[in-house]
Amino acid sequence: MITAIVNVSLKAGVLDSQGKAVHHALDSLHFKSVNDVRIGKQIVLKIESDDKTEAMAEVEKMCEEILANTVIEDYAIELI
């Protein structure tokens, strides 16, 4: 059994309105040291496989087809 952790975030240059809202809220609460906030999502998958190469290929396909909008989002995969 392999666990795949997929982190999806907006590409650089894509406006992150959630991140801006959180940054504004932190600033309002006097957390002045925060320079920027970007919001993303993490997806944890349990894969029925013992072959990491095969699992990585399958998760990459999932990301390209459904888990990430690759026009505006990047993704990173970690297998454990």
Q: Which residues are registered as beta bridge partners of 44?
A: 5
Question: What is the domain count for the chain?
Answer: 1
pLDDT tens digits, 11-61 = 999 999 999 999 999 999 999 999 999 999 999 999 999 999 999 999 999
Helix (H) / strand (E) containing 51: none
pTM exceeds cut of 0.95: no
Handedness of CA 37, 20, 70, 54 (dihedral sign): positive
CA distance 72 to 10: 6
Q: Which residues are registered as beta bridge partners of 77?
A: 6
Amino acid identity, residue 23?
H
The CATH number given to whatever domain includes residue 16 is 3.30.1280.10
Q: What is the rounded average pLDDT for all residues in the chain?
A: 96
Domain region containing 68:
2-79
CA distance 79 to 2: 7
